[in-house]
Structure 1
Amino acid sequence: MNLKSILTLAIAIASFSALAQTHNIKINGNIRMPKDTLVVTQLVASLNQFLIVKEQPNDQNKLILHSENVVTYLLLDEMKGIEKSKELKDDFFYKPYLTNCVILNDDEYYLQISYIGINNEIPILRASFEIIAHKRDDTFLFSSPFLKNTKDWKVETIQNTTFHYQTTINKSKIKEYIKLTSFFDKKLRIENKTTSFYCCENIIALQKLIGVQYKLDYNGRAESIWSATDKDNKIIVLGNDNAIFSHFDPHDLWHDRLSLVVSRNEVNKPVDEGCAYIYGGSWGLSWQEIFKAFKEQVANNRKTNWKAVKETRLNFKTNGFNNSTDYIVNALLVKKIEKEKGFEGVWELLNVGPFEAGNEKYYATLERLTGITKQNYNEKIWELIDNE
């Protein structure tokens, strides 16, 4: 081994050692750990390793219980970067403490982990998580308590979608959802993808299911929706006054279905949003209602330069919520392209890549599909607006 290799290895070992020390779990002397000291050693070693590898992409984490991958991804997403304090500019300000350990059976342990930082002698709780440790030979794998928390829930399955709920479910709303899902899936050519909904009253119930006892980020917040995907399976946990699946957002449904075939980080966001506005409206309003507000608030000014708007965000409001003007322009373009080229043309524009300054790839693809160039863009957008 040459000197360069030795130095590289030494740096890697030192970095890992430093990383391990910052992630190592701190165990209070009052915690009732298993009596078998070998089991304790294995559990702590596996847990320390888990607290490091949780930062990896979820599908690369080898310490997750494989049979509970997707539900554990929900928990892992909440644990990533939990040590950091932006305010104090310290990447390892919050330290992990084991606050409870309960033996569920010979091979399973319930763990509570709290991340706490000390600033000016004042303790600050960043988050507290619940994790299930599963003994496997001389190591442990980990999972969210999600499936244990929902094992007695009722289930309704239609086509490739399953709804989990506690008391009752709105079957007419489910039919409406399935109809629109089928419409989107036909466009996106989605097959053999499964979706599981878990219906909760609010974010408090949602967090408890997943294993998030507390997280400072959600202090005072009442609603949220969390989701995760593992290959062909997507899980969506509704915590937005939706315990009986009484409502869903067609706009967000478009994004959910698209994410099953391509990451939303890889598509062009303005085009993606344009599709969502055309097919599902937004903020509870139809496309026609959104477009009317757009014309009254933005397109009423004939001096508006749409090419400039594309580079500098300009918003208008509906029901108190912001809407990006460029998203509406892209909705008009989506409508034109689909009429002339079919959805295959829309798919091509969707996949020009993420938004970038200058939008050269976007304009090149748009010209090929429609004849609209960067030079005549402003003029042609006004024509689309006037003819809508």
Structure 2
Amino acid sequence: MFKKYTFALLLALCAIGSYAQTKPVIIPPYLHIQGDSVQGKQLIASLNDLLSQLSKPNKENTLVLKDALPETSALLDEMRNMTDGKGADKKDIYPCYLTNAAMLDSASYLIQLAYMGVTNSVPVLRAAFTFTAQKAEGRFYFSSPLKSNTRGWKLKSDGSFSFYYSTALNLDKVNIYVKKAREFDKRLHAPVYQTQIYLCNNLPNAMRLLGIDYKLDYNGYGQSNLSAFENNIDLSLTGREVNDPAALDLHDLWHSRLHRAVSVAVINKPLDEASAYLYGGSWGISWPEIFKRFKSYMGDNKDWLTAFNDNKNFGVNQQYHLYVSYVINALIVQQLEKDKGFAAVIELISCGKKEADNENYFKALEKITGITKANFNNRVGKLVEAEAKK
């Protein structure tokens, strides 16, 4: 039997459930919620409790369905700060509305939220999300609809790797990806964990499957990935056609495997990018081809220190960028691994976040490799010459 709640009544119910939330979800007057009044109260209270905990780590959110933590974590990451616009004066300008609460069975609902506001007298949809709510012990627990949205998909398993797909699968590419991941893990002495990859063909499809109906940040974008790491599961939704050179990208794979073995808090991003060039290429371009393009771009310029500091982009455009300093660092990493082993590479990569003057980088570089600003041109020049002869 359908129950129609009036606007005033549902606002009161929101207040009951928002003890930990200063701005409860707004219930429009047209909204219908099936079920009895007690269940309606439980649903609204649980929803507000979920939203009030968005600032917590996702695994600590007590209203997340634990069996669906990885995919729900990816969805919650996308929901953070959606009430805010850009700028310190744009806080809480996109209130959260409950736009749908469709009963699926006696104990579960499909929930849809929209963050909407007005900017310069123009209505703006900031974001919209869909997730499911499952009742247990007098409360509702929430999850991404990813598993239900991909229930009919095929599965390709290889040890700890699982690939979910609905269209033709490029097995050669999948096999290369798994082989490379295992090589990276061995090199990194990485912990054992599960890898789940959903091949979604494009970003809008990946968003829809996860529960992102719309997000202003992604307006106009057709290709990208969504991911999360929870419950010892590395989850990724690949928003590119599987035969796209950037799909199942070995460059991104290096970042992913490195970040499971080394704390992101100590990783130097330029060195992370440099090692990704070396071990995985970039934009589907191999390391030898990247170096060839770099060498052509540099021409007769031998001032490697200035080039390193200027860090110009020599890619085809800003989107498909390739940076000079990353290639130089890749040459240093390659020689360091040859001379001292991979443990020394990890020590260098872990020199800390990039600083404006690269002080921590040059300090670690001198300690581990003996390269200083004074001998940089000479040492890097020799690395460039050696690589060019290969």
Q: TM-score, normalised by structure 1?
A: 0.88
> How large is the RMSD of aligned CA atoms in angstroms?
2.4
Displacement of 1:47? 1.1
C-alpha deviations, 1:27-82, integer Å up to 9, x for none?
Answer: 12221113422222222122112222113222332221111100001111110111
- Show the counterpart of 2:260: 260
Displacement of 1:254? 0.9
C-alpha deviations, 1:88-137, integer Å up to 9, x for none?
Answer: 93110001111111111222111111111023553211111102112222
Contact 2:191 2:260 in 1 (8 A): no
Amino acid at match of 1:333: I
Within 1, Cα distance between the matches of 2:98 and 2:216?
18
Contact 1:224 1:240 in 2 (8 A): yes
Amino acid at match of 2:143: S
- Show the counterpart of 2:349: 350
Amino acid at match of 1:366: L
Contact 1:155 1:164 in 2 (8 A): yes
- Show the counterpart of 1:116: 116
Displacement of 1:315? 2.1
Displacement of 1:84? 0.8
Displacement of 1:364? 2.9
- Structure 1: unaligned runs, 5 residues or longer: 1-16
Contact 2:245 2:284 in 1 (8 A): no
C-alpha deviations, 1:152-195, integer Å up to 9, x for none?
Answer: 21111002100111243222222222221221111011242110
Displacement of 1:284? 2.1
Matched, 1:69 2:99: no
Amino acid at match of 1:316: F
- Show the counterpart of 1:170: 170
Matched, 1:362 2:361: yes
Contact 2:135 2:141 in 1 (8 A): yes
Displacement of 1:379? 2.7
Amino acid at match of 2:92: F
- Show the counterpart of 1:295: 295
Amino acid at match of 1:365: A
C-alpha deviations, 1:315-369, integer Å up to 9, x for none?
Answer: 2224773212111111011011000011111011111111113333322322232
Matched, 1:94 2:88: no
Matched, 1:378 2:384: no
Q: TM-score, normalised by structure 2?
A: 0.88
- Show the counterpart of 2:148: 148
Matched, 1:20 2:18: no
- Show the counterpart of 1:284: 284
- Show the counterpart of 2:322: 323
Structure 1 residues 52 and 311, CA gap change in structure 2 (3 angstroms): farther
Within 1, Cα distance between the matches of 2:58 and 2:301?
48
Helix, strand or coil for the counterpart of 1:98?
Answer: strand
C-alpha deviations, 1:234-288, integer Å up to 9, x for none?
Answer: 0110111128999522211111211222344531111111111111221222212
- Show the counterpart of 1:11: none
Within 1, Cα distance between the matches of 2:243 and 2:380?
43
- Show the counterpart of 2:4: none
More deviation in 310-319 or 115-124? 310-319
Structure 1 residues 81 and 282, CA gap change in structure 2 (3 angstroms): same
Within 2, Cα distance between the matches of 1:243 and 1:208?
21
Displacement of 1:384? 1.7
Within 2, Cα distance between the matches of 1:171 and 1:314?
37
Within 2, Cα distance between the matches of 1:246 and 1:93?
36
Map of 1:23-42 to 2, 5 A cutoff?
Answer: 24-42=24-42
Structure 1 residues 134 and 199, CA gap change in structure 2 (3 angstroms): same
